[in-house]
Structure 1
C-alpha cells in the first residue's frame, strides 16, 4: 500500500475522502497578504532600491585594499578605452570620459554585483553612431552628435529605470545566450572593420556603411595607406605581443603570475603613452598651414566637465530617435544583465536583475546632465575588475578618481594621442567579443537551431547593420521558443526492468522509457505495455498552444494499433463518414489488420513533467476521450500519474476525469452553445471494475488509524506514480476481458 505515516499535527497525508485540490479562496488569499499589511512590503521595496545600505556598515580595511587595487587598475584601462569608444560613437573623446565617470560613480549606490564596471562599451558606441547618423540624415545640420547622444541616454535610461522599478526584468530571459553572442560577434566584426581604415590612415569612403562595403573599400584603399599606419600597426602589434608574452611568462613562472597579470593589464596605457610621446616628437614642429599634422592626432580635449547642463529634450529628436529606441534599450538590458549574471555565477553570489536595471537606468538618466552618452556593463573591464580582486562596488569610486585626474590634469597630453593608436586599442579590445570557434561548435552540439540563430545574427549584422542583427536574433529566438512550446516532445512509453547487480534480485524495479530508439541503451529490450493500453508522457506544460499534440498522438496511435469497435462490413457506403477511406464496393481495406488488433482499453498519462494546464487543453483532452471511445466502441479508461499541482487536479476533475463518472457529451468550453448538452442529464460511467492498485483502492479502506492513502479515494483514476497507474490500467483491463 502506497501510504504515508502521520507524525502528529505536521503531517503531509491527505485526510480520507478530502479533495486535494486548492480552493479559489486560498488562491486569492496568497495575493492579498501584501494588501493586509502594506507597510512591510513597501519598506522592504524602498530599502531594496539601495543595496549599499545593507553592506556599507560592514565595510572594513580588508575590503578596502582589494577595492583600491581593482578600482585604480580599471581606471587606468578605462581612460584610453573611454576616449576610444567615443571615437566609435563619432563623438569628441571627452564624452567617453564623461560617460565613464558617471557610470562608475553612480553604479556603486545601486549595484548588486561587485564585479560589473559600467561605462562606454563598443557595441553601444556603434549603435549610438548609427542613431546619430539616422537623425542627421533626417534633420541635416539641425542637431549635433553630442546633443543627440545625450537625449538618447536620457530616454533609454528612463525606459530601463521604469522596467526595473516595475520589476519587469524577467523579460530579458526571453533572449537566449546564442542570440546575444551572435549580435555581439557581428557588432565586433563591424567595429573592427570600421577601425582598420583609421589604423592605416585610409580615407575617402564612409566607414559607417554596412560592414561588407567597408571591408571591400578598405581593401581597395590599401594603396592609399598613410604614415598613420606606423603608429597604428605598431601599437596593435605591441598590444598583442605584451599580452601573449605575459600569458607565457605567467605559465612559465606561476609564482609571479600576479605580477605578469598587472603588467598585461597596463599594456593599453603603456602603448598609448609611448605612441603619444612618439607622435609629439615627430609632429610638434610639422604643423601645416591648414593646421593639420603629418599624422592624425586627437587635438584639443576640453579640461574638466565643460558640458554639464540640463539636457535639452527636443521633440523632433525624440521623434527621430523613437524608431531606434528598442535596439538601444535591448543592448543596455542584455549586455549588462548577461555580464552581471555571469560574474555572479562565477564568483558565488546572486544578482537582482531588476535592481541592476534600476542601476543602469539611474546612471544614464543622471549621465545626461553631464553630457554622457549611453553606458552599460563592459565585458573586458568587468573581467579585469574581478581578476584584480575587487571586494565591493566601492571600487568604482577609485576608478572615478582616475578619470577626474585625467580630465583635469592630462588633457594637454591627450592633444598628441595619434588616432591610429586609438584604433589599435579599439581593435585589440573588441576582438575578444568575437565568439571563439569552440564555443560556436558547442552551440551546434547542444542545439543546431540555436547555432542557426547565432549565424543569422552575425550575417545580418555584417551585411546590413547592428539594428537588423539584434531584431533578427530576438525574433528568431522568440519563434524558436514558440515552436518548442507548440511542438513539445512527447513519448509513448514501454517498460524496462532494471536491477542493481550489487544487491541481487531483490533490487529489481520497473522503469518506463520511450519506445523509440535513440533515447536509451540500444541493447536494452523495452517491453511494450499490455495490448490495448497506451502510456504517454508529455514533456511540457499542457496548455492551449500544444493541446493538439495529445489528441494527434493518442488518436493516431489508437487507429494504427487497436481494433475499431464497430464492424464496418455491414455498414452501407452511404452511411459511411465522408472522410473515412474505403473501397468503391464499401469494403474496408484494413479489415484483416483490424481483426487482428487488440481493443483499446486504457490510456495512461504521465503528468510528472506538466506544471500548468488550462481550459483549452482540458477541453482538448475531453475531445480526445470522445474520439477514442467513438473508435473503440466502448468506454476507455483514462489514468493519470504524478499530478503535482492541486490546480491540475482541480482542472481535470472539472473536465470529468479522475472519478470514472462523467456526462457523455460534456463540454468544458463549447464554442457553439447550441450544441451543448445538459450535463445534469444522463451520466456515463466507466464499467471496468476498479481493483486495489497500491495508491488507490476504490473498495479498500485502511483499518490502521496511523495511515492514509496519499491520493484521495474520491479520484481513483489519479495515481501517485506511473507504476501504480499502469498496474491499475492492466488489472482493470484483465478483469474486463475476463
Structure 2
C-alpha cells in the first residue's frame, strides 16, 4: 500500500517516467530477500538516491545534450554502482562504512530531505518556470517568487498533504488513547498513502475527464500513460562513452547506495535484537542492482519509511519481500489504467510527507551538541553545504570533515599526568577491618570528575605518572614526546650545575638566567627525576615512530637530569606492544641509546610466577601483593602471592604496581645520593 505510490513518486524526483520506480521496487524486494540478513529492510527507490539520479541525469545531459535518455543513464548507474558494491562485499571491505559517523550521515540526509521538499513544493502548488533541481536556496527563493502564479494543482496537492498528516496524527492519538486497539489504528495509518492517492485520483478523474483541451492538455497535471507490465526487459547495452561521462558522479552514488542501506539495516537490527552482516548486505545490494538492470530499474537501496512499516507490521523473515513484489507486479499489470488520472500534485504530497521524517528533530540535534560539539559542527556543515550547494558536495563535506576530525583526535590525543587518591573500602560486616585502595586520577582538577573536597596527592618526588589516551603511533608520537619533556623540564631539577657552564657552551636557544637571577636557587628547589611511569591501558597499537619517540624522550630527559631515568610501563596486554618496547630497549632494565638495527624476536609471555621474584629481576623493584577475594566473601583467609612478568621487570601488570616500583627506586636512589654527598662533605639542597 505504500511502496506503489512512493515508487511512482520517487521516479518523479529522479525525472524518470513513473513505471521505472515500479520496476525498481519489484526487483528490489524480490531479489534482496534471497540474500538478506535483515528481515525488516525494504529495498527499492528512495528519496535521496532518486534526487542523486536526477542530478546525474542533469549533469550528463548538460555535458552531452541529446545523446542519452534519462532511463539509460539511470540504469547504467545502477549497473556500475551495483558492481562496485558487490565487489566491496565480496572482498569483505564493509568495515570502510564505519569511517563515516552517524552525525555525518544524519547531516547529509537532513540536507537532502530539505532539498527534496523544496523541490516538490512547486509541483504541489502547480508553480513552473524554473529549475527545481538547482541549489535548494535558489529553489526556495524562486518558489516564493512564483506563489502568485499558483494553479489549480494546489487544490489536490494541499488537500492531499493535509489529509496525510491528519490521518497520521489522528491514528497516533487514538492508538495512545485506546492501547488495546493500537495495532488496528497503526494499520489504518499505514493505508493513508493509498487512501489519499485513491481519493485524489477519483477526484482528478471526475474533474478532468470532460475538460481536455484541443491541445490534449488537462486543467491539472496528471500522470497520464503508464505502460502495462514489464515493457523494458532485456540485457543492458553498456556504452563506454556514457560510463566515461558518468565517472565524476559515480563515487557519490555508490556512497549513498551502500551508506544509507547499512545505516538502516543496522538501526533495525538494534531495535529488533538481531545482528546483520554488513558484507552480506552489500552483496545483497550489489546483486539486486545488477539484476535490476535487466528490468531497466534505476538504483535501489534501503528505504527508512517502508522498512519501519515492515518492522511495525511484525514481519518475521526477509521473505515478506515476496508478498510486496506480488503486490507491485499486480499493480503493474492490473492498475496502470487507473494510474493515468493520478494528479502529480498528489504524488508531490506523498513525497513531502515521506521525506519530512528524514529531517533530524531538534531534540536529536541537541543530543549531538551535548555528546560532541565537534560532531554537531560536522552535522551542521553537511546540512548547510547541501542546501547552498548540492547533495554531492554535502556528502563529500561530511565525509572529509569526519575523517579530518578522526585524524585530529589521533594526532592530538588527550593525556593526563596522574596523582593518587586513597579510597577506604569497608568490609561486608562491621567486624571486618577497613581496607584501602589507591586510585590514580588526573592532577588537574578540571580534568578529574572527583569532588572538589577530594585532595589528589602527587607521586613521590622524582616520579612522574602519565596516562596516554590513544595509541602511540606516528601522528601523535611527537606531541607525546613534547608533552613529557616539557613537563619534566618545568617540574624537575636539572642535573647539571649551570653556573659552571659558560654562555658559549649552552644550547644556542638557551638565553640563560636574567640579570640578578640565581638560576641554581630555583633549580635546587625541584626534585631530581628518577622514574617515569607510563599507563598504557588505552594504548592498543604502537609503531616504529612511537618507539623512536619514547627513545627520544628517554635521551632528552636523561640529558636534562644528567643521570639514568627508569621507564616503567603499566597494563600492557598486547604481546606486540611488549615486543616493540623490548626492541626499543624498554622494560628489561638494560639501557640503550638507539633502536637496534635488527628487530627483536617476539617475546611471548612465559607464564606467571607465583614462587617469588625472577632471578633476572633487579633488587630495587618491589612487587605488589595482589589478593584474590572469593565471590561469596566467606570468612576464610585470602592467599596472596607476588605476580611478575619474566624478562621484563619494568613492565607491570597494573598502574599501582608500576608506581610503587618507581617510587621505591626513586627513594633508594635519593638515599644513595644523600650518603654519597655526606661522605664527600657536600650539602644537599632540596
The normalised TM-score by structure 1 is: 0.84
Q: In the alignment, which residue of structure 1 is the partner of 2:646?
A: 713
Asked if 1:280 is matched to 2:213, the reply is no
Deviations 1:253-308 (A, max 9, x none): 11110000000001000000000000000000100111110000000000000011
Q: Shift in Å at residue 570 of structure 1?
A: 1.4
Q: Shift in Å at residue 713 of structure 1?
A: 3.4
Asked if 1:526 is matched to 2:456, the reply is yes
Is the contact between residue 585 and residue 595 of structure 2 (CA under 8 Å) also seen in structure 1? no
Q: Shift in Å at residue 592 of structure 1?
A: 2.8
Asked if 1:575 is matched to 2:505, the reply is yes
Deviations 1:505-543 (A, max 9, x none): 523211111111232122221111111110011011111
Q: Shift in Å at residue 414 of structure 1?
A: 0.1
Cα separation, 2, equivalents of 1:363 and 1:590: 76
Q: In the alignment, which residue of structure 2 is the partner of 1:306?
A: 231
Cα separation, 2, equivalents of 1:166 and 1:708: 49
Q: Shift in Å at residue 250 of structure 1?
A: 0.4
Q: In the alignment, which residue of structure 2 is the partner of 1:157?
A: 82
Cα separation, 2, equivalents of 1:718 and 1:584: 42
Unaligned 5+ segments in structure 2 are: 599-615, 627-638, 672-686
Asked if 1:630 is matched to 2:563, the reply is no
Cα separation, 1, equivalents of 2:517 and 2:128: 80
Secondary structure, counterpart of 1:110 in structure 2 = coil
Asked if 1:723 is matched to 2:656, the reply is yes
Summarize the alignment of residues 12-411 of structure 1 with structure 2, pairs less than 5 Å apart: 76-411=1-336
Asked if 1:496 is matched to 2:441, the reply is no
Which stretch shifts more, 183-192 or 345-354?
Answer: 345-354
Deviations 1:389-418 (A, max 9, x none): 000000000000000110000000000000
Q: In the alignment, which residue of structure 2 is the partner of 1:451?
A: 376
Asked if 1:658 is matched to 2:591, the reply is no
Is the contact between residue 499 and residue 519 of structure 2 (CA under 8 Å) also seen in structure 1? no
Deviations 1:133-174 (A, max 9, x none): 000001101110000000000000000000000000000000
Unaligned 5+ segments in structure 1 are: 1-75, 671-685, 697-705
Q: In the alignment, which residue of structure 2 is the partner of 1:510?
A: 438
Bigger relative contact order, structure 1 or 2, given CA contacts below 8 A and separation 6+?
Answer: 1
Is the contact between residue 615 and residue 669 of structure 1 (CA under 8 Å) also seen in structure 2? no
Secondary structure, counterpart of 1:661 in structure 2 = coil
Is the contact between residue 196 and residue 218 of structure 1 (CA under 8 Å) also seen in structure 2? yes
Secondary structure, counterpart of 2:33 in structure 1 = helix
Asked if 1:607 is matched to 2:532, the reply is no
Q: Shift in Å at residue 609 of structure 1?
A: 1.1
Secondary structure, counterpart of 2:368 in structure 1 = helix
Is the contact between residue 582 and residue 589 of structure 1 (CA under 8 Å) also seen in structure 2? no
Change (3 A) 1:691 1:139: closer
Change (3 A) 1:589 1:414: farther
Secondary structure, counterpart of 2:445 in structure 1 = coil
Q: In the alignment, which residue of structure 1 is the partner of 2:682?
A: none
Cα separation, 1, equivalents of 2:506 and 2:617: 28
Cα separation, 1, equivalents of 2:666 and 2:384: 58
Q: 2:359 aligns with which of 412, 415, 434?
A: 434
Cα separation, 1, equivalents of 2:102 and 2:596: 40
Change (3 A) 1:268 1:644: same
Is the contact between residue 89 and residue 280 of structure 2 (CA under 8 Å) also seen in structure 1? yes
Q: Shift in Å at residue 217 of structure 1?
A: 0.3
Cα separation, 2, equivalents of 1:695 and 1:661: 25
Deviations 1:446-475 (A, max 9, x none): 110000000000000000100000000000
Is the contact between residue 176 and residue 182 of structure 2 (CA under 8 Å) also seen in structure 1? yes
Q: In the alignment, which residue of structure 2 is the partner of 1:66?
A: none
Deviations 1:633-676 (A, max 9, x none): 1000111111111111111111111121123x323579xxxxxx
Secondary structure, counterpart of 2:394 in structure 1 = helix
Change (3 A) 1:381 1:660: same
Q: In the alignment, which residue of structure 1 is the partner of 2:674?
A: none
Secondary structure, counterpart of 2:434 in structure 1 = helix
Is the contact between residue 689 and residue 736 of structure 1 (CA under 8 Å) also seen in structure 2? no
Aligned-pair RMSD on alpha carbons?
A: 1.8
Q: 1:422 aligns with which of 347, 364, 368?
A: 347
Length, aligned pairs only: 637
Secondary structure, counterpart of 2:465 in structure 1 = strand
Change (3 A) 1:689 1:592: farther
Cα separation, 2, equivalents of 1:475 and 1:276: 45
Secondary structure, counterpart of 1:337 in structure 2 = helix
Cα separation, 1, equivalents of 2:504 and 2:619: 38
Secondary structure, counterpart of 2:421 in structure 1 = strand
Q: Shift in Å at residue 498 of structure 1?
A: 1.4
Cα separation, 2, equivalents of 1:95 and 1:262: 27
